[in-house]
Structure formats: structure tokens, C-alpha cells
Structure 1
Amino acid sequence: MNTSTTAVLHSEWIKIRSVRSVSISLMAIFAATLAVTVLAFATVGQAEADSPGYEPLFSAFYALNFGQIAAICFGATALSSEFLNGALRISLSAVPRRGLLYGAKVSVVGGLALVMGLITSFATFLVGQLFMGEYAIGLGDPGALRASFGGGVYLALIALFAAGLTAVLRSAVAVLSTLIPFLLIVSFVVGDVAGDIARYLPDQAGQAVLHQNPDGGLGPWTGLAVTAAWAGAALLAGWWTLRTRDA
């Protein structure tokens, strides 16, 4: 890695750390997920374990549905800060190579999201099981370690997906108002209507890694690969937009 690349990476890290909305959204990935985990498992955790069709492993990561919202906010706000008040022109005056600027920003966003995602995923699993009594499972149970690791990767990919879309739309508000309703509502409606096609949506494909034995044609790692493809396509579109559109 050359010095200029190191300097750009360092500057992007400083930007993320200094913009309050971005740093708060990063910390919210952990805080929101853990708060929902404690609330849900402390109140209805063991009661839900007696329900028909209960899946201990997938249920252990219930709160990641809320953590992914924070991950979207992090990815979106980290990129949208470049498009406010002429910030992009200032950044390009310091780093004229748009590919380097974009690559450094995406690398920092992805790296931070991955670290926070892994911490969040493992903490969610371990803390939730403290409330499960006789129904508790551990990291040594089949699929648990893989799901804990995969959950962190999933959160990072969702953050990158949001980052790429923000580079295209140049608006965190537009991305948040599109992605959050999609993940919370539209994806499930499409799943009920379209059946097998919905398995290839970014959220449903990626969450296959959280199941002990995923249903359908996608395995745990194949599902994550599909989500990675969605994120990669969004990031590529964002790069092309940044490269061709005026600052």
C-alpha cells in the first residue's frame, strides 16, 4: 500500500469519526441490536421456545432485523456527507483521483461495518442465550459459530449496499426511505407473492446464513454471496456515477 493511499484512508477515517450522525449510526448497530435482544429474550424468549416451528438458531438473531436498519443508516450517512454543502468538491481538490477517493471511503465504511457487525452478531447470540435457561444453545452447537460470523458479514454487506445506492442517488434520505420500507415490508410481501424469486433478494438471501438448515436452493454461504453481489452491483453503480457526474 503506498503512502498516498494510506493518507486517503486515514482522512476518510477522520471524516467518519468527526461527523456525529455517521459515528452515532455506527454505534447504533450494536446498541439497537443488543437493546432489542435483551428486551425480547428477557420477556418472551422462553415462551417463544415452546412455540411450534421454533428455530433456536435463527431466533437467536432476531434483533439483527433492527441492527440492519442502523447498518443502512451508517452506510447511507457516511456517503451522503460528501454531497452536502460542496464537500465533494473539497474532497476532490485534495484527492483528484475519484476512484481512489471512492475506494478509500468504501473500504473504511466496509471495514468499520464488518468489525461492528461481528461484535454485534456474537454479542447478540451470547447475551440472548443468557435468558433462555434450559432452551439455551452455545457456540458449539451446529451452525452457531457460522451464523454468528455470518451475521456480522451480513450487516457489513447491507451497509455497503446502502453506501453504493447513496453514491448513486446522492441522498441519504432517498436511500433510507427506499431501503428501510423495502426490508421491513416489501421484501416479505414479495416473498408471499413471488415465492422462490424472493430468496434472491438481498436481505432474504443473506439471512440464510442465520439458519441451521436453510430452506430452498440457497445455502448459508451461497446466500451471503448473493447479498455480496447486490452490494457489489450497488458499489459499482456508485463508482460509475461518481466518475461520470459533476461534483
Structure 2
Amino acid sequence: MTRLLEKGFGGRRAGNNHAQVVQALGRAIVEGRFLPGTLLPGDDELELTYGVSRTVLREAMKTLAAKGLLVARARIGTKVTPRRNWNLFDADVLTWHMDSGIGSGFLNQLFEMRLSIEPHAARLASLHAGPEDLARLQGHVEAMREAPDDRAFALADLDFHTAILEASGNVFMYSVGAVIEAALLSSFRLSSPAADPGVQAEVADAHGRIVAALAARDADAAAAAMGAVIDFGRDRLSQVIEAQE
């Protein structure tokens, strides 16, 4: 798991030259300082801007191209690709979006993705989860209930949803974890359930109902309980955004 949440709560970022160029240039693209369809400055200018060698710069360009942000053309240059080509499942790309200030539309799309994936993951987990999976999930629920601060609650929440993906038995489910992390980080940056003991207990109870449904091997109830958790988070976040606006 990428641990976007740990970074979002002040975790350490990679500091080597390659990572610094990827971060700086990636953010500049996502923030619109280099618009889709435009050519990046030449290598000489970028080397001076970021203070790196040609080798480091080209490796950074390859990394950003792999994330879908850039495409290199012989005798033309390196061009910023249309946003539809960006890999929004990539942890860095999601982080750059959130750090640049995403709007309610983008957040709604994150929650729509969760609703299209996680209830089905819970349905599968009701078929495949064993005693160890259920014990681990219940442990995450208790960690959410007893979390002393926003960070502890957020990480316990993430651990719960990651464990659901693992318990589904479908290896492809795990690859969407960054989307869940992005949605959770966005939510906790605006308003954490841990800020209100009543809401914290309510959210923990809601996650507990998912575990109970899994233990009962009730696929429909598990999917419904997961959907209810996601809807509650989206509704709470929408209220915060509306109040700010």
C-alpha cells in the first residue's frame, strides 16, 4: 500500500534528485503550470531549473511518462498529455491533485469509484474471509473506536478497507487501494470523525456492521453495509464543502 495518508499527515518524502524532479515537475503539470498539449522547456533549461544532470532528468521524464503525464516525440520534444491519459490510480498523481486543491466534482468522482468497487469487494470477502481475516478486521474497528487523534483514526480506517480488499480474494482489488487512500485523505483533511467522539463511535459501529455481515456470510448485507459507510463519508464531506462555500 502506498500510504498516501502517512504522507498527508506529515510523513517523510523521498529526497533523492530523481524523486525531487518527479515531484516538482509532476506537481507543475497537475497544477496547470504546463498545460496539456504544450511542450516542456528543453533539457538544458530544465537541468538548470532543477539543478540535476541530463541522466537524472531523463529518468524523471521516463517516470512521468509512465504515469501518463508526458509523451516524448523525436525531433519535436516532450509534450504534456491530455488529462484523460493520466493514470489517476497512481499514488503520486492523486497526491498532486489533492495538494493542488481539488474541488467537489473530483471528490464525488473518487466516491463514485469507491461505490463501484468496495461493496463488491465486501461481497467477495463474505465468501472468502477466514477467521484470521475477521479478527484482523475487528481489530481495525476497535483501533478506529479508540483512536486518540485524526492520524490514528485515518490509518486504522485505511487498514480496515485495505483488509477488505485483501479478504476479497481478488488480486486486482488491491491495485485500487490508492483511490481509497485519496478519498480518505481528502475527507480527513477537511473533517475527521475523530474530531467528534459521537461521530467517531458512529463510524466505528458502521464498520463493525460490515464485519458482522462478513462473519454471517451474508453477501448482500456486507455490500449494503459497505455502501452505507461510503455514503456516510461522502454526505459528511459534502456538508463541510457546502458550509465552506
Same fold (TM over 0.5): no
- TM-score of the superposed pair, with normalisation by structure 1: 0.31
- By percentage of residues, which structure has more helix? 1
| TM, length-normalised to structure 2 | 0.31
Report which of the two structures shows the higher radius of gyration computed on alpha carbons: 2
